[in-house]
Amino acid sequence: MKELFILAVVTVFTLVTYYLVEPFAHSVMHKHVESEHFAYADLPALTKTGDAARGKDLVMGAGACSGCHSISVAGMPAPMDAVTSAQSYGVNPPDLSNVGVVYDAKFLAALIKNPAHALKVEHKYTPESGKVHPMASFAGAGGDIDQEIADMVAYLQSIAVKQDKLTPKMAFETACGRCHAMKYENWTQIGEKPAFKMKKDELAFDIQVIDYQDALTKYMGKLPPDLSMYIRSRGEHYISTFVENPQHLLEGTAMPRVGVTAASADKVIEHLADAGDTKRFEREEVGKKVMIFIVIFALFSYLWKRSIWKDLH
């Protein structure tokens, strides 16, 4: 079977070349970061059991969260519109309705206590820089601060939708959508772009987006990228480990640690796939059928060859 030997030689050289050009070359070019499974091991565990009712008072209280954040499920509107907020803080503070399900509880507690630390952006807010993180650290309401924070987290968890009701889109909007646009899903940093009847209304909306982006650019140093095609340009593993801790893959980046739970990270990635790889299910389906067709084609071509070559040998 000389032909099979030749085929084996061709296959081996092809596979060696493939290995060197793809897995090997990429392992040299790109730092490999293992997932930490969104454990946030550097943050202290919650030791207190929170009470949602007390938490509500703290969250809603004068000078507390609702001074800057909207909580739409609780009927609490935003004190300022998105553009004015971004111009004041650099970025629009998130609506707190679903943060209890999207973010890890330990992370939320650490964030309330010391935002720059939990977000891993302390390098941006060194004493020399003279800058402070726009979100003020919670200094306590007079009681046991850890208990108070646990109460606030419990309240935020109590108002959030249940995990199984959290859609990929909601997870994306809460976790990423105030900094990142997603053109292919019609998403801007100030929300979904509506369909306008009048050109001037559309232009007015676009100007708001530009104003917001200008403020955001000043705050972040660079406009955060549109994420429409990130599922193809970065891939699932990179996105997941980057979201978990941006500093691992891009040291010094202004992007904060997002603090999502593992389940929410999966939802975010699903939403990215819904934008940049919409036909993945169709691809699998069609792929199977084409493979079956082509194997049958090869079988018939083999039978044809045999019937013709039996006279030639």
CB nearer another protein, residue 161 or residue 209 = 209
* Binding-site string for another protein from residue 168 to residue 187, where x marks contact by CB under 8 A and - marks none: ---------------xx---
| Nearest in space to 275 (alpha carbons), one of 311, 230, 307, 228 | 228
* Binding-site string for another protein from residue 273 to residue 312, where x marks contact by CB under 8 A and - marks none: ---x-xx--xxx-xx--xx--xx-xxxxxx-xx-xxx-xx
* Total chain residues near another protein (CB under 8 A): 53
In the complex, the smallest distance separating the C-beta of residue 119 from another protein, rounded to whole angstroms, is: 24
Residue 31 binding another protein, by CB under 8 A: no
User: What does residue 187 show for φ and ψ, rounded to 5 degrees?
Assistant: -100, 130
Q: How far is CA 124 from CA 85, 120, 131, 256, in A?
A: 20, 9, 8, 10
Residue 8 binding another protein, by CB under 8 A: no
Near another protein in 223-282, by CB under 8 A? 225, 228-230, 232-235, 276, 278-279, 282
Which of 21-29, 83-91, 141-149, 263-271 is the region at the interface with another protein (rule: CB under 8 A)?
21-29
Residue 191, helix vs strand vs coil: strand
Tell me whether residue 148 is exposed, middle or buried, using C-beta atoms within 10 angstroms of its C-beta: 0 to 12, 13 to 18, 19 or more: buried
Residue 12 binding another protein, by CB under 8 A: no
Near another protein in 98-117, by CB under 8 A? none
CB 157 within 8 A of CB 100: yes
| Nearest in space to 266 (alpha carbons), one of 291, 289, 244, 299 | 244
CB nearer another protein, residue 131 or residue 283 = 283
What beta strand segments (E) does the chain contain? 187-188, 191-192
Q: Is the dihedral of CA 271, 273, 276, 280 positive or negative?
A: negative
Tell me whether residue 229 is exposed, middle or buried, using C-beta atoms within 10 angstroms of its C-beta: 0 to 12, 13 to 18, 19 or more: middle
Which of 11-19, 58-66, 68-76, 170-178 is the region at the interface with another protein (rule: CB under 8 A)?
11-19
CB 53 within 8 A of CB 74: no
Residue 198 binding another protein, by CB under 8 A: no
Name the site residues for another protein (rule: CB under 8 A). Answer: 2-3, 6-7, 10, 13-14, 16-18, 20-22, 24-25, 28-29, 183-184, 225, 228-230, 232-235, 276, 278-279, 282-284, 286-287, 290-291, 294-295, 297-302, 304-305, 307-309, 311-313
